[in-house]
Structure 1
Amino acid sequence: MDQPPIPVIRLGDTGEVAAALPHLLGFHPAESIVLVGLRGPNGSRVGLTVRADLPPPAAARALAVTLAGKVLTDDPVAVLLAVVSEAPDDRSVPVLPSGPGEPAPELPHRDLVHELVLALDARDVPVREALLVRSGRWWDYDCPYPCCEPGSGTPLPAGASPLAAAAVADGAVLAAVRAALAARITPPDGDPAAPAMAAACLAEGREHAARLRALGRDAVAAEAGAALAAALADCRPGPATAATRLADARVARVLWGLTVPDVRDRALGLALGEDAAAAEVLWTECTRRAPVPLDGPPATLLAVSAWLRGDGATANVALDRALAADPDARLPRLLADGLAQCLPPAQLRVLISSTLEEAG
């Protein structure tokens, strides 16, 4: 299940919300159920949005209960449901005859919509609208008019909507599919730059071990902190750094520095300060270029940066990468559990601040 960026913007018309789903999620959903929490006095603001793959019919009720619990962590006053599916109309449900001896077709996945309505109603949260989004058009499951008959539908509005613009302004990057988010932080198979990066990490690892023996952990932490600060400066957004690509040796220095707990704590705190954007650029670059298992710490830090920005989809794929590097790593496991429970970014910010204060 994925959590998306959460732009604070007033709700427009139904077609606008349907068209903006990819921007709310950070990627184009396919065969998905999406719940959009609605906040504000009249439910006019978009809140937390959660997504899951469409389940088999036997699992619809269990998934409905799970998704309802997740979207309600944001205390919405109402919820908008959207089924995104290319499934054909269901002709197995005889609703009204459309001709002699022929039942009228029904919109697909209505049983899942029904289970979600029941699960949310049990928690006293109404469903504002239930939509089907398919082939560039949208339908309302409850609309009785010809525009929402199975063979009809309303075209999705063209152009950039305020919802989409808000998501982009908030830092969301739209991917074609969820796998494209993972591809952004994963080197391609047969990457010609990978051997050089691996060699740089091996050489830096030997030097890192030698400095630890000769200078001690405190001195090495100070050196690593300085290397981190220099790399961060070269990742700050702006024309002076637009064409900057960190050399393999500098990336390797940062990666090995992140194996020192004090440096890793300092790096975690960067997500809370004015260099949060630069830190996210640095963690993205380090995660993409790092060999296993050195990719674990920057992937974890990237997940934190993305999550605090509201980009749960990127946070999820980054945590997948971190746990693939070290399945027993405590911090990414805790973060993954928190993300699964829809811990709001504001609460994560407070948790990080208190953790860093306790660490001194």
Structure 2
Amino acid sequence: MSEHEYEVRISDPGEVAAALPHLLGFRPEESVVVVGLGGPSGGRVGLTVRADLPPPPHAVPLAAALARGIATDDPAAVVIAVVSEHDDELDLDGGVDLPHRDVVHALVVTLAEAGIPVRDALLVRDRRWWSYDCPHECCAPGAGTPLPGGVSALEAASVATGQVLAQSREELDARITHLDRADREEVREACFAMVNTRTARAAEAGWGAVEKDAWAVVESAVRERRVEGAVPPLPPPSLAEIVWGLQHTGVRDRALGLALGDDAAAAEALWTECTRRAPWMLAAAPATLLAVSAWLRGDGAMASVALERALGSDEDYQLAQLLRSALAACMRPDELRAMVIATLDRLDAVRPAG
């Protein structure tokens, strides 16, 4: 475990309900969430998977997909959480029941078939929580238990690792969505112009010089972002130089190493800006670097959104494909860190001297 990683254990259903936004990286709405639990005590939080609440005919297929996802982490048990502001429903006897029991039932059955015990199934609604299996008055449809107050251990760990909680998944998308049309045009024109600039520079001094020039701009931009507070956006020609430079695997792989050292936060700020402002067809490299940076500090939600942007830009981008498979297989941040270090070591071994 690195110095920036924290192990968090949750023992109370209310803690699970309150922790959902921090487990996901955003505040879920109308969602079904499956939280994996493991460790010697069975209380260590593992993989968390989420989906939009489905219409009743789709409950069983969705349950199968969620079960396949959570099974990759080999959990000792899981907690199911339904997050919904939906009103209570009528049961078969004409009484009042909690909503979305069909989804819960489909998940419990599917998980049981996969040999994964369900420790509890919760409804989270209006800052309160209910257990679907609880027979006591506190879990009656009109009752519920208030979510725990104060700062939880998970919330403290999220802050310590630099995770910024989004109000929704759409907010995460917005962080890397560029809405300034005029700037978008300037950057696009600068990128087109960079093709001729790079070609002329390569003809004069070779492609190695082009990569060296691009890396110098990366280093300069990272240095500017080491300071606290707002940093002016990169001029379009500088951003175009970086974005085009990252199309060279040598520059991109060298940039991977920035996520491992003292400049990790500054580099992530740079990759965020490049992902947001780069033309769509050139966003795969910076978006993949952003995903690595976010993942290494434990922000799986941002990593997932960044990888979607990378593969939306280039569905065949191999590094993004590899990372998506690793994320689906629940690779831990420390394992990703080791993989990046091994990659950089291999590159150093084959890189020519000088």
Partner of 1:157: 148
Cα distance change of structure 1 residues 232 and 243 upon mapping to structure 2, 3 Å threshold:
closer
Q: 2:259, 2:267 within 8 Å by CA — same for their partners in 1?
A: yes
Q: TM-score, normalised by structure 1?
A: 0.87
One-letter amino acid of the structure 2 residue matched with residue 21 of structure 1 = L
Aligned length: 344
1:147 aligns with 2:146: no
Q: Which sections of structure 1, spanning at least 5 residues, go unmatched?
A: 1-5, 95-102
How big is the shift at 1:7? 5.3
Partner of 1:46: 45
Partner of 2:55: 56
1:175 aligns with 2:166: yes
One-letter amino acid of the structure 2 residue matched with residue 307 of structure 1 = W
Partner of 2:191: 201
Moved over 6 A (4+): none
Give the whole-Å Cα distance in 1 for the aligned partners of 2:211 and 2:28: 43
Q: TM-score, normalised by structure 2?
A: 0.88
One-letter amino acid of the structure 2 residue matched with residue 202 of structure 1 = F
Partner of 1:278: 266
Cα distance change of structure 1 residues 243 and 224 upon mapping to structure 2, 3 Å threshold:
closer
Moved more, 267-276 or 80-89: 267-276
Partner of 1:97: none
How big is the shift at 1:357? 3.9
Q: 1:299, 1:321 within 8 Å by CA — same for their partners in 2?
A: yes
Give the whole-Å Cα distance in 2 for the aligned partners of 1:64 and 1:344: 24
1:330 aligns with 2:318: yes
Partner of 1:31: 30
Larger RCO (alpha carbons 8 Å, 6+ apart): 1
Give the whole-Å Cα distance in 1 for the aligned partners of 2:310 and 2:30: 27
One-letter amino acid of the structure 2 residue matched with residue 208 of structure 1 = R
Q: 1:129, 1:140 within 8 Å by CA — same for their partners in 2?
A: yes
Partner of 1:269: 257
How big is the shift at 1:270? 2.4
How big is the shift at 1:185? 0.5
- 2:294 corresponds, among 291, 306, 313, to 306
Give the 3-state SS of the residue equivalent to 2:209 in structure 1: helix
How big is the shift at 1:66? 2.8
How big is the shift at 1:183? 0.7
Give the whole-Å Cα distance in 2 for the aligned partners of 1:249 and 1:159: 47
Give the 3-state SS of the residue equivalent to 2:72 in structure 1: helix
Give the whole-Å Cα distance in 2 for the aligned partners of 1:270 and 1:340: 24
Cα distance change of structure 1 residues 275 and 23 upon mapping to structure 2, 3 Å threshold:
same
* Partner deviation per Cα, 1:165-200 (whole Å, 9 max, x = no partner): 222222221112111101101111x53432333333
One-letter amino acid of the structure 2 residue matched with residue 162 of structure 1 = A
How big is the shift at 1:244? 4.5
1:233 aligns with 2:232: no
One-letter amino acid of the structure 2 residue matched with residue 149 of structure 1 = A
* Partner deviation per Cα, 1:322-343 (whole Å, 9 max, x = no partner): 2222233232233333333434
Partner of 1:99: none
Q: 1:38, 1:44 within 8 Å by CA — same for their partners in 2?
A: yes
- 2:99 corresponds, among 108, 119, 123, to 108
How big is the shift at 1:257? 1.0
Give the whole-Å Cα distance in 1 for the aligned partners of 2:113 and 2:259: 38
* Partner deviation per Cα, 1:132-163 (whole Å, 9 max, x = no partner): 01122111111111111112112223343222
One-letter amino acid of the structure 2 residue matched with residue 142 of structure 1 = D
Give the whole-Å Cα distance in 2 for the aligned partners of 1:285 and 1:162: 31
Partner of 1:296: 284
Moved more, 36-45 or 139-148: 36-45
Partner of 1:3: none
Q: RMSD value over aligned CA atoms? A: 2.3
Identity percentage over the alignment?
55
* Partner deviation per Cα, 1:26-71 (whole Å, 9 max, x = no partner): 1111111111122322122222211111223333233323322322
How big is the shift at 1:242? 4.5
1:253 aligns with 2:241: yes
* Partner deviation per Cα, 1:115-142 (whole Å, 9 max, x = no partner): 3223333344322221001122111111
Give the 3-state SS of the residue equivalent to 1:193 in structure 2: helix
Partner of 1:76: 75
Moved more, 195-204 or 292-301: 195-204
Partner of 2:129: 138
Cα distance change of structure 1 residues 7 and 127 upon mapping to structure 2, 3 Å threshold:
farther
How big is the shift at 1:271? 2.5
